[in-house]
Structure 1
Amino acid sequence: MPSTQVNIRVEGTVSHSSEGPQLVLSQRLDGQDTFLTGSLDIGERTIPVRILTLDDVTVLRPSDSHLAPTEGERWHGTLHLPHGLRPRSVPPDLKAAADQEERYLDALDEAELRYVLTFLSEATTTTIRQARVQAIVSALPTTTRNRP
């Protein structure tokens, strides 16, 4: 997939959570990958954000809370989403776990592999990543190998 950038006009309000400010969009983003990073231009500021799409609402979480507008403020800007930049190769820990359990990674189609790689990349600790690797591997079909 070639690298492209999607630019989307967005607007919303600012609220606070325990993790800091959240930019709540007035309309849910449909058809975009969730949990992507991007950047949001608001006026003269460019704010790096993480996109969190929930059931009924899309929330942007600024990487630097000092750049966010103030709580309760209405805002509008342009959200820039990089597409096609995520790695598509299987990471060594997933490959090793699949090999050890004799599971077939090639059974994943392109969309499933993209989901798996995103799921793994969002693990915030080693323990969470290891649990996610095990969950993925356990869902794969077994391989048929010739044994000596």
Structure 2
Amino acid sequence: MTKTNHRLPINGTVAADSSGPFLVLSERLEGHDTFLTGQLQLYDALPVQVQILTFDDVTVLRLLDPSQTPPTGPWAGILHLPRGWRARPIPDDLMAAVLIARRDLAVLDEAERRYALTFLGEASTSAIRQARIDAIVTALPAAEGTA
């Protein structure tokens, strides 16, 4: 197996479309590039290469080798991700508000950062987005060296 940075326990179901079967994850993956490839290790099976496709509300895995048979019914396994894992970038409007308010965004751990960015990304209007930016910024501590 190639060197991986993360091992994510995942589960889901099998579905199909005109291009063949795909594995639908029970929870959307955050912080991953769409079209990133990885290896899926289903329990009691050899690892298979998959392509991660993350959409607005769902993540699916496509088997890269069409000769491989997908599982039937619900499944569980470990997704091994390569070096392509990276944190989602901070949007310019949030970063500007953080800098103006002299707040410390670095205090957020990966899960808190992902939660804040998802909260912000789900805003349906510019007024709601601005209110969410204000809420995130207000919740952050002052940056070091500011009073």
TM-score, with structure 2 as normaliser:
0.51
Conservation of the 8 A alpha-carbon contact between 2:36 and 2:84: no
**1:34 is aligned with what amino acid?**
T
Q: Does 1:6 align with 2:6?
A: yes
Alignment of 1:44-59 (within 5 A): 44-59=45-60
3-state SS of paired residue (1:77): strand
% identity of equivalent residues: 50
Q: Which runs of 5+ in 2 are unaligned?
A: 86-147
Aligned to 1:65: 66
RMSD: 2.0
Instruction: Name the SS of the counterpart of 2:21 in structure 1.
Output: strand
Q: How many Å separate the matches in 1 of 2:67 and 2:76?
A: 18
**1:61 alignment partner, SS class:** strand
Q: What is the CA distance between 1:4 and its match in structure 2? A: 4.7
Q: Deviations over 1:79-124 (max 9, x none)?
A: 0110159xxxxxxxxxxxxxxxxxxxxxxxxxxxxxxxxxxxxxxx
Larger mean CA deviation between 7-16 and 30-39 belongs to 30-39
**Stretches of 4+ moved more than 4 A in 1?**
none
1:16-65 per-residue CA deviation (whole Å, 9 max, x = no partner) reads 11111100000000111221011100022211100000000000000123
Where 1:76 maps in the other structure, the secondary structure is strand
Kindly indicate whether the alpha-carbon contact (under 8 Å) linking 2:33 and 2:84 is maintained by their aligned counterparts in 1. Answer: no
Q: In the alignment, is the contact (CA less than 8 A) between 1:36 and 1:50 conserved in 2?
A: yes
Higher strand share: 1
TM-score by length of 1: 0.50
Letter in 2 for 1:25: L
SS of residue paired to 2:15: strand
Q: In the aligned structure 1, how far is the partner of 2:16 from the partner of 2:71?
A: 9
